[in-house]
């Protein structure tokens, strides 16, 4: 079902920038892609949340953002800092509450601090832990980066809410330069119960703990994606991709 929770006078206010994006991007996306939601009511209606999502397509961030907006919340993405350098776009990104991230630098700590501040103010932070569209041969969630785990250790009382998604990549795959809009691509997004990370509350946030937390998050996403696809989740390790893997495959 695709019952929206947002209605006039209800939910977080989105502001002018989101208003433009909704009109320019999300209305056309609703026409081009058949979007279906499951368990939209599981998105916390008040208070902070860390939302983690598997990444299947270059266009799925738009669909995830639309789901969060339809769930009466305002999503705040951690996005590459280069996007914020684009004139007009950068100003709009900041107005929407998104947070620039410069990977592999001290500035990444500043991004986490900004995300923690947003959570403290009751915001919803959305992350794709894989950091890129999955390269798993069968589309399963891959190993993740530790950003979501680091953010949770800094805000351990905030729920980590998983969103599993599947579908649009079968017709829109920019890696393979495939874009097929007829028939309309079908995309399903499903919100799960918060991930139980209580075993890590008393652990020091060292590298080992961060990787273990990330493993728990990604395995949960893989299980939720399996349920969405109606097939058993693969056993064994998560797929690990790197530029060396890509070169080896070539």
pLDDT digits (tens, 9 = 90+) for 33-79: 999 999 999 999 999 999 999 999 999 998 999 999 999 999 999 87
Percent of the chain at pLDDT exceeding 70 = 92
Can you tell me the distance from the alpha carbon of 115 to that of 132, in angstroms, rounded to the nearest whole number?
Answer: 20
Mean residue pLDDT of the chain comes to 90
User: Given this model, what pLDDT does residue 108 score?
Assistant: 73
10 belongs to a structural domain: no
Please name the residue that has the structure tokens 């064994």: 236
200 belongs to a structural domain: yes
Which CATH number does the domain housing residue 182 bear?
3.40.1130.10
174 belongs to a structural domain: yes
User: Given this model, what pLDDT does residue 245 score?
Assistant: 58
Q: Into how many domains does the chain fold?
A: 1
User: Given this model, what pLDDT does residue 95 score?
Assistant: 87
2 belongs to a structural domain: no
Can you tell me the distance from the alpha carbon of 126 to that of 48, in angstroms, rounded to the nearest whole number?
Answer: 11
- What lies within 8 Å, CB to CB, of 242 at 6+ separation is none
9 belongs to a structural domain: no
62 belongs to a structural domain: yes
Q: If pLDDT is split at 50, 70 and 90, which confidence band does 250 have?
A: very low
User: Given this model, what pLDDT does residue 14 score?
Assistant: 82
Question: Would you call 182 helix, strand, or coil by DSSP?
Answer: coil
Phi, psi of 22 (to 5 degrees): -60, -45
Asked whether the beta carbons of 238 and 219 are under 8 A apart, the reply is: yes
Residue 28 has pLDDT above 80, yes or no: yes
- What does the longest C-alpha to C-alpha distance in the chain come to? 54
Write out the two tokens for 137: 């041969």
* Range of the structural domain that residue 117 is part of: 15-249
Percent of the chain at pLDDT exceeding 90 = 68
6 belongs to a structural domain: no
What are the helix (H) ranges across the chain? 15-21, 27-32, 60-70, 81-84, 89-95, 107-120, 147-154, 207-229, 243-249
Lowest mean pLDDT among 12-16, 134-138, 237-241: 12-16
Can you tell me the distance from the alpha carbon of 209 to that of 115, in angstroms, rounded to the nearest whole number?
Answer: 20
Instruction: Give tens-digit pLDDT for 141-187.
Output: 999 999 999 999 999 999 999 999 999 999 999 988 999 999 999 99
Residue 41 is classified by DSSP as G
Asked whether the beta carbons of 245 and 142 are under 8 A apart, the reply is: no
Write out the two tokens for 109: 């700590």
4 belongs to a structural domain: no
**In 10 A of CB 80, how many CB atoms?**
13
């Amino acid at each position: 079902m695709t019952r929206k929770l947002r209605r006039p006078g209800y939910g977080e206010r989105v502001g002018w920038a989101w208003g433009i994006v909704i009109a320019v991007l999300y209305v056309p996306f609703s026409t081009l892609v058949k979007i279906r939601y499951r368990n939209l009511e599981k998105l916390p209606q008040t208070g902070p949340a860390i939302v983690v999502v598997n990444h299947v397509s270059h266009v799925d961030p738009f669909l995830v953002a639309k789901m969060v907006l339809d769930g009466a919340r305002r999503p705040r993405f951690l996005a590459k800092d280069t996007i914020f350098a684009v004139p007009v776009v950068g100003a709009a990104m900041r107005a929407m509450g998104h947070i620039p991230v410069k990977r592999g630098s001290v500035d990444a700590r500043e991004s986490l601090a900004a995300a923690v501040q947003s959570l403290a103010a009751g915001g919803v932070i959305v992350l794709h832990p894989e950091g890129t569209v999955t390269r798993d041969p069968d589309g399963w969630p891959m190993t993740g980066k530790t950003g979501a785990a680091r953010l949770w250790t800094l805000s351990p009382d905030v729920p980590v809410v998983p969103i599993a998604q599947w579908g649009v990549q079968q017709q829109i795959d920019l890696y393979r330069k495939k874009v097929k809009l007829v028939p309309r691509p079908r995309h399903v997004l499903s919100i799960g119960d918060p991930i139980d990370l209580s075993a890590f509350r008393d652990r020091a946030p060292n590298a080992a703990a961060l990787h273990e937390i990330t493993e728990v998050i990604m395995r949960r996403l893989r299980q939720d994606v399996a349920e969405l696809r109606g097939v058993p989740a693969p056993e064994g390790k998560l797929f690990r991709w790197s530029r060396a893997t890509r070169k080896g495959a070539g």
